[in-house]
Chains A and B, each alone.
Chain A
Amino acid sequence: MSGEAHDSKVTTAAAASTAGDRLEDAPLDLDALYRESKVHEAIDALERELVGLVPVKTRVGEIAALLLVEKLRRSVGMQADAPPLHMSFTGNPGTGKTTVAMRMAAILHNLDYVRKGHLVAVTRDDLVGQYIGHTAPKTKEVLKKAMGGVLFIDEAYYLYRPENERDYGQEAIEILLQTMENQRDDLVVIFAGYHDRMERFFSSNPGLGSRVAHHIDFPDYQEDELLEIAGRMLAQMQYRLSDEAHGALREYITLRRQQPHFANARSIRNALDRARLRQANRLFRGRSRSVTREMLATIEAEDILASRVFNARVDDG
């Protein structure tokens, strides 16, 4: 296994060194480049760590393929302009936009499209100043921090406030535009937010919209997926659900999804955090009895059923 990988590395190194002298139709080893670039590590991590999100994973895979082929084209001296890389991630809260952005930064870094591969996540407050002359330095400072990596602008539509013509957001957009255009090698910008509001944002800022090459839409999670996410979160925190608690959580998710302000995975995380709180309280109240390791790790149905979400149902009924 390791010998095979070693061989392929030697082949590509040789191919790269003599690429200029080779015949035009000499075969190139795309697969070796793929393995060498470590981009599969990021894609595998995406696959492994995120539940569902099939359309997103497909699009990320497609973009990675494009970048890989462009890189190979460049390595044999073919015309390959730096492909436009700015992206827009749209979807409801808690659908994994930031997590995917982090993976995207790793993919871009592995393929040498950004030099450092770090992610700088900002919102309107980090870019827009409070008085005249405050915005430009602030935006530029953030841009400088993001150079060599990915700038992730969450809820980007807040930058543009048409109802206030003196709003400084417009200034931030202009500086952003300038940098996106002139320093494409230094920085990749990802805009994120609700789908419909982002669409309105781009249509009212056509200059910005036309420079964003990849639009990825993040679907909401299904109930089963949310349940799996909960399972993974708990496993990571070294908790587990009892069988009754598992049923209770399923019921909780069904109810919670119908309520306002449901934020997908984030709501699940919050629910679990509250369940942990109740579990700790339950153990503390019964502290006269001895506590086992098993008890410390187990979340019971009552920890979940105490949630307000169930009360709301009782009230309604």
Chain B
Amino acid sequence: MKLTQGAFSYLPDLTDDQITAQVEYCLSRGWAVSVEYTDDPHPRNTYWDMYGLPMFDLRDAAGVLQEINACRETYPEHYIKVNAFDSTHGWEALQLSFIVNRPAEEPGFALVRTETAGRNLRYTTTAYATDRPAGQRYAKG
């Protein structure tokens, strides 16, 4: 099951040229771009690990792409996303976030039903991947 989080996630995966164009747009708006990765795809997992520091004062997307590729090399079987942070006073939050790398196999999510008082049902989802410990979740073989 293809993970659909962030912008463009219903489209086919972006090519490097398309990623470059998106990052160029972010930089032209003066946003600070950063790269993050995780192997826990749960939608409520908002705290992904930072790959390096956010990149300030960049003028060209080549530097960001270099960082993305370095992250891909280190974590080929992780989710990697690119964030663009807008520091404008009053906004001070992300403007854009999109996935640039995903594991080859995405097992998807399980729906867990919990019965509570009065035969009520509570629902939650868990990622099959998180059954295994961090770091081994998408390991091949």
Contact = CB atoms under 8 A, between A and B. Distances in A.
A145 B58 contact: yes
A118 B59 contact: yes
B20 to A, nearest CB: 11
Interface string B66-103: 11000000000000000000000000000000000000
A145 B62 contact: no
Nearest to B59: A116
Interface residues of B, number: 13
A187 B59 CA distance: 12
B57 A186 contact: no
Interface string A177-197: 000000100110000000000
Interface in B17-75: 52-53, 55, 57-64, 66-67
Contacts of A144: 55, 58, 62-64, 66-67
Interface in A157-190: 183, 186-187
Contacts of B59: 116, 118, 145, 147-149
Contacts of A183: 62, 66
Interface residues of A, number: 14
B60 A147 contact: yes
Contact of A145 (B52, B61, B63, B67): B63
A115 B63 CA distance: 13
A144 B64 CA distance: 8
A34 B53 CA distance: 42
A101 to B, nearest CB: 16
Contact of A149 (B60, B61, B67): B60
A186 B60 contact: yes
B57 A147 contact: no
Please indicate which of the listed interface residues B52, B53, B59, B61 has the most CB atoms of chain A within 10 Å of its own CB. Answer: B59
Nearest to A187: B62
Please report whether the interface of chain B is mostly helix, strand, loop or mixed according to DSSP.
Answer: mixed
A273 to B, nearest CB: 30
Contact of B60 (A137, A141, A148): A148
Contacts of A147: 58-63, 66
A56 B132 CA distance: 65
A148 B23 CA distance: 13
A145 B64 CA distance: 10
Please indicate which of the listed interface residues A116, A141, A144, A183 has the most CB atoms of chain B within 10 Å of its own CB. Answer: A144
A116 B62 CA distance: 11
Interface string A113-156: 00110100000000000000000010001011101110000000
B60 A116 contact: yes
B82 to A, nearest CB: 14
Interface string A185-216: 01100000000000000000000000000000
A118 B62 CA distance: 14
Nearest to A114: B60
A144 B65 CA distance: 10
Nearest to A183: B62
Contacts of B63: 143-145, 147
Nearest to A148: B60
A118 B27 CA distance: 14
A225 B61 CA distance: 42
A187 B61 CA distance: 12
Contacts of B60: 115-116, 147-149, 186
A174 B60 CA distance: 22
Contacts of A143: 63
Given A145-B63, A148-B62, 10 more contacts: A115-B62, A116-B60, A137-B52, A137-B53, A144-B55, A144-B63, A144-B66, A147-B63, A148-B61, A186-B60
9 A-B pairs closest in CB distance: A148-B60, A144-B63, A147-B62, A186-B62, A147-B60, A147-B63, A116-B59, A116-B60, A118-B59
29 contacts: A115-B60, A115-B62, A116-B59, A116-B60, A137-B52, A141-B53, A141-B55, A143-B63, A144-B58, A144-B62, A144-B64, A144-B66, A144-B67, A145-B57, A145-B58, A145-B59, A145-B63, A147-B58, A147-B60, A147-B61, A147-B62, A147-B63, A148-B59, A148-B60, A148-B61, A148-B62, A149-B59, A183-B66, A186-B62
